[in-house]
Each structure stands twice: as C-alpha cells, then as structure tokens.
C-alpha cells in the first residue's frame, strides 16, 4: 500500500479514537465545581484581572484566593457565553478529544524513540490513546484537569523529542507548555515528574548533560510565570499538606478514596493500568533500552502512587499507561498487521463514538429539561435558586455542600457554603459538617449572617440531622421543591410578605408532595447511614453524597 494511503488510514484512525474519547463526555454537566469555575471566569471577563480574594463564600469573604485555574475558567465561561449549556458541554467534548490527540502524538514520538519507522509509528500511536477510554468513562467531568492532561501529553511529546534528538525548539516548547500548565491548574507539578523521567538519563551523557541541566532549570522556574508569583508556584505543595487524610472530613469525600481500595471498576482499572506499566517497563529493560525503562518506571510509579492516595488521580495513570504501551506496540505488530489493526480500530472507534453521542444522548447538554427544571436537574436546583433570586431581595442563603458554587453563580452573590477546598481549606469543610450535625450551631450561624433561606438535598446522608430539624421547626417553612432539593425559608420572613406565594416560592402543586419528599428523603438517608459490612462502601458516592473539588 502506498505511503499516502497509510498516512490517510493512520489519520482517520487517530481522529476516530479522539471522537470516541470526546463522545464519552456527552453527559449532563453535573459537577458542582463547574459553577465555581464559571464564576471565576465571569470575574475575569468583567474585570480583566484574576480574583485574589474569596468573594463567593460568606464565611471566607476577603480571604486570599490563589486561583490557578483562571486559564481554564476564562475558556469555560467563554463557551458558556457563546452557547450556554450546549456550548459548555461541547467544550468538554473537545477537550477530551484533544487529550486523545495529544496522547497519540506523544506515543508517536515514543515509538520513534524506540526505533519504529515513521509509517508504522503513525499506525500504532492511536492504540496508546485507548487508555483514556476507561479513565473518561469512570470520570466524565468537565474540569480543569481535562485541559491539564492535554497540555501534559503535549509536554511529554516535546520532552521525548528533546531526549531523542536534542531539539532546542522542543526544549523551548516544553518551557512554554509548563507556563501554560501553571495558569490552568496546580497539576503543573506533574510536568516536573515528566521532566525528571525524561531528562535524568541524559545526565549520564557528557555531551547532553549541560543541555539537560539548563532545560531542567528552566522547567523548574517556568511556573513562576503566573499572576501570583512565588505563592502560586508553591500553592500545590500547600494543597498537598491540607489533604493529609488525618481529618474525619476526608472520609466523607468520595473523591479522595484510594483507587485500589474501591470495590468497583475503578479498582479493576487501577490494576490493569499497573500491570500495563509493569509490562512496558519490563520489556524496555529486556530490550536494553534503559533510558526508556527508567522514564516509564518513574512516570508509572509516580502516577500509581497518586492514584493510590486518591482515585481522582487515576486519569494521570492513563497517561503513564499510554506511554507504557509503546514498548509493547513496538515489538508486537509489523507493518501489515499494524495496517489491518489500525483500520479495524478506526472503524470500531467511530461506531462506538456514534453510539456514545447518538440520539439517546443528543440532548445531554439541554438547558431546560422536559420536566421544566434547569441544567442537570437531578443534581442542581436552578429553578429553586431562580425563585429565591426573585424573592430574596439580595439576601444570601445556606446551601448544601457542592451547591454553594452553583448558588453563587446563579444568584451572583455569596452563598454560605461551598465545596472549594482550595479556597475554604480543610477547616472550612470541617465547619460545614459541624453545621449539619449541630442544630444550635446552624441556627446561630443563620442569625449571625441574617440568612433567610436554606437549600437542602433530600437524598444525602450528611443532611439528615439538619433536614429533620428544618422539617419540624416552627421557625422554618418548606417553600419549594425542585427535584430532590427542598428550599426552606424563615417563617417570619414569609409572614412579613403578604404576597409570598406570588413571589414564586409557594407555588407547590400540593403541600403533601413536599412532605412526602422530605419523609422519603429522611428515610433514605437513614438507610444510607446504617452500618455496612464493607467500610469502603460507606463513603458517599458521586451524586448522592458529599464531594469536594479536585484541588490539583
């Protein structure tokens, strides 16, 4: 087959795999942190400067805020402004596809480093990007990490090119990519891990040592090019010290559960990635490619350690596993077999991409669902928030965990509670859980901040004490039901407004409907909080329990 046809098949296969990865993000925008990022992006668009103090949380108002996510936030808010929920959802699909494309590029550079000819490396590279399929299927969230992983894969490609050919242009591109990473998320520290894995073997070569040291120094200093300077450069370490696992609050956050200890697909994926990394390192050693073996081993060990600490890092293991696939691909498939396998992969990936984003999920990014509720109504109460926005006359309200960011974006003013660990810190989350469990503390807090309303999740186990108090207290009135969320208002506030129901807070079809929902919610949370035989399963799962933002 002519080389031009081989390149065409390789390009089609690469695009098909990227489309498959992108289609896996065709899900409702159900992540609470997304609202926090939209608020940050709106501040940037309106003011032209990054936020430096917290303006979204009452209890932390005015506290310093190092917002390294600003690069992602301004892009996300731009997508929201251009196309609303659909624009934002398509932005997430595009980022996932970009991660796959960048990983294919990195795999191609690694294959050439392993001595594979150009045509075969083009055909084999898309196979490495398949490691993102289980990662995206397990964690289909639009977060800054998507943009970070695309940049990290590009950084891997440039560092491999530098290690293979000593390209000065590749070194300059690596520095620029690390600067970009430092202005997207604290995951820029993973760029240092990539640099250590690829540059350390060059120190043994006298001719390459000086160039490697110079590039390493530039990469170490590159993240200083952020709006916060040294504070931003050190911020990932500060976050790491906050998430030490010693506080009880972390047992309530499913995202921090170690990947290996979960009895679900996450543990199986972790094991498969670990086996793949071990096989790739062993094969590189067996073929006496010691520099490649060192790079794969260091990258894989670091990635697996992070995922063992918290399953939110499993996506980074996907990048390490993609690199570890290269030695296996390099020896397993000759050109004709690679051509046939690449063609089959392209067809299969395209079919699966169409299935993942087909008619059944074409309206995943809808702004208004057939039920009349808002974006992702099963997760966030936009109708209830809009009602309070009209009737609340500028007053703040108490919000259940993970909805504070949503409330701050919709209401455009601070909410009492938010799940942003990078802003609130561990003590802020601990205070929040104390509010839910201590009715007296909650009432004093509401009095101190003059809170007139509270928005509570009927499903979550961590709200059962406060929900029972609000449902039985004469000082509070159940005002509205928005899917699984109940909006309570101060009875004195409602009684002082003769047109209370006309303001949109008392338009329930039937009072009994809300009472049944509250009763069912209390029973459900009681069942969820009952002791279980497997302690790991007591951790609330995404969508039903407490979650916090991924800080890195």
Global pTM exceeds 0.85: yes
- Joined together, the tokens standing for residue 484 give 């699984």
Q: Which of 124-128, 130-134, 144-148, 311-315 has the lowest mean pLDDT?
A: 311-315
Q: How confident is the model at residue 550 (pLDDT cuts 50, 70, 90)?
A: very low
What are the structural domain ranges in the chain? 1-55+65-98+115-142+343-367, 144-238, 260-332, 382-538
- Burial letters 192-216, b for 16+ CB under 10 A, else e: bbbbbbbbbbbeeeeebeebbeebb
| CA–CA separation, 437 and 336 (whole Å) | 65
Residue, of 517 and 474, whose pLDDT is higher: 474
Rounded to 5 degrees, φ, ψ at 396 are: -80, 170
For 432-460, how does the pLDDT look when each residue is reduced to its tens digit (9 = 90+)? 888 888 899 999 989 988 888 898 887 77
Q: Is the pLDDT of residue 491 over 80?
A: yes
pLDDT for the residue 411: 86
Residue, of 535 and 308, whose pLDDT is higher: 308
| Most distant CA pair in the chain, distance | 84
At 480 the three-state DSSP class reads strand
Q: Is the pLDDT of residue 362 over 50?
A: no
| CA–CA separation, 11 and 122 (whole Å) | 8
Share of the chain above pLDDT 90, in %: 39
Distances (CA, A) of 302 to 25, 103, 321, 476: 26, 18, 12, 51
| CA–CA separation, 39 and 48 (whole Å) | 14
Q: Is the pLDDT of residue 468 over 50?
A: yes
CB 124 within 8 A of CB 329: yes
Q: How confident is the model at residue 514 (pLDDT cuts 50, 70, 90)?
A: low
Residue, of 550 and 236, whose pLDDT is higher: 236
| CA–CA separation, 96 and 90 (whole Å) | 10
Q: Determine what percent of the chain falls in helix, strand and coil, rounding each to the nearest 5.
A: 70, 5, 25
pLDDT for the residue 361: 53
What one-character DSSP code corresponds to residue 53? B
Q: How confident is the model at residue 132 (pLDDT cuts 50, 70, 90)?
A: very high
Per DSSP bridges, beta strands 453-457 and 485-490 are antiparallel
Measured at the alpha carbon of residue 122, what is the angle toward residues 119 and 127, in degrees to the nearest 5? 135
């Amino acid at each position: 087959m002519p080389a031009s046809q081989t390149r065409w098949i390789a390009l089609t296969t690469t695009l098909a795999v990227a489309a498959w990865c992108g289609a896996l993000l065709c899900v409702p925008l159900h992540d609470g942190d997304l609202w926090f990022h939209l608020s940050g992006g709106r501040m940037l668009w309106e003011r032209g400067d990054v936020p430096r103090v917290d303006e979204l949380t009452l209890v932390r108002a005015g506290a310093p805020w190092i917002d390294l996510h600003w690069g992602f936030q301004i892009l996300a808010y731009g997508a929201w402004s251009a196309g609303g929920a659909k624009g934002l959802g398509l932005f997430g699909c595009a980022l996932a596809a970009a991660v796959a494309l960048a990983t294919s590029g990195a795999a191609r550079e690694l294959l050439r480093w392993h001595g594979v000819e150009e045509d075969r490396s083009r055909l084999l590279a898309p196979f490495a990007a398949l490691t993102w399929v289980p990662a995206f299927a397990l964690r289909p969230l639009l977060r800054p990490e998507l943009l970070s992983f695309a940049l990290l894969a590009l950084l891997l490609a440039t560092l491999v090119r530098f290690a293979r050919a000593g390209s000065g242009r590749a070194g300059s591109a690596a520095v620029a990519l690390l600067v970009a990473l430092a202005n997207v998320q604290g995951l820029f520290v993973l760029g240092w891990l990539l640099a250590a894995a690829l540059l350390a073997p060059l120190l043994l070569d006298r001719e390459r040592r000086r160039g490697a040291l110079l590039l390493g120094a530039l990469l170490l200093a590159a993240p200083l090019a952020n709006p916060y300077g040294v504070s931003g450069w050190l911020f990932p370490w500060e976050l790491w010290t906050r998430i030490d696992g010693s506080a009880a609050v972390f047992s309530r956050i499913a995202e921090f559960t170690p990947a290996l200890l979960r009895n679900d697909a996450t543990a199986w994926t972790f094991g498969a990635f670990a086996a793949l990394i071990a096989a790739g390192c062993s094969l590189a050693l067996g073929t006496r490619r010691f520099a490649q073996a060192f790079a794969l081993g260091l990258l894989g060990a670091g990635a697996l350690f992070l995922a063992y600490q918290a399953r939110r890092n499993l996506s980074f293991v996907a990048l390490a596993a993609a690199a570890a696939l290269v030695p296996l691909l390099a020896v397993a498939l000759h050109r004709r077999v690679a051509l046939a396998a690449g063609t089959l992969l392209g067809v299969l990936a395209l079919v699966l991409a169409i299935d993942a984003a087909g008619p059944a999920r074409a309206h995943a990014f809808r702004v208004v669902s057939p039920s009349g509720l808002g974006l992702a109504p099963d997760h966030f109460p936009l109708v209830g928030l809009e009602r309070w926005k009209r009737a609340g006359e500028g007053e703040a309200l108490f919000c259940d965990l993970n909805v504070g960011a949503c409330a701050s974006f919709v209401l455009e003013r601070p909410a009492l509670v938010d799940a942003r660990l990078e802003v609130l810190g561990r003590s802020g989350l601990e205070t929040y859980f104390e509010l839910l469990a201590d009715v007296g503390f909650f009432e004093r807090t509401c009095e101190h901040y003059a809170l007139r309303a509270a928005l509570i999740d009927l499903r979550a186990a961590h709200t059962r004490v406060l929900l029972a108090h609000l449902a039985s207290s004469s000082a509070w009135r159940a005002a509205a039901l928005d899917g699984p969320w109940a909006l309570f208002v101060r009875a004195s506030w409602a009684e002082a407004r003769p047109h209370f129901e006309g303001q949109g807070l008392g338009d329930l079809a039937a009072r009994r409907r809300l009472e049944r929902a509250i009763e069912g919610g209390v029973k459900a949370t009681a069942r969820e909080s009952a002791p279980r035989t497997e302690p790991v399963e007591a951790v609330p799962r995404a969508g039903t329990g407490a979650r916090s933002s991924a800080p890195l």
